[in-house]
Amino acid sequence: MSGGQVAALIFAILLLLPGGCFLLAWIVVATDSQFAEMAFVALPIAAAILGLAGFLFWIAFRKRPNPAASQGQPQ
Amino acid at 69: A
Closest CA to 18 of 58, 43, 46: 46
Per-residue pLDDT of the chain (75 residues; tens, 9 = 90+): 788 899 999 999 999 999 988 888 888 777 777 777 777 788 888 999 999 999 999 999 988 777 666 666 655
State how far the Cα of 42 lies from the Cα of 28, in Å rounded to an integer: 11
pTM of the model: 0.75
- Exposed, middle or buried, 26 (CB in 10 Å: 0-12/13-18/19+)? buried
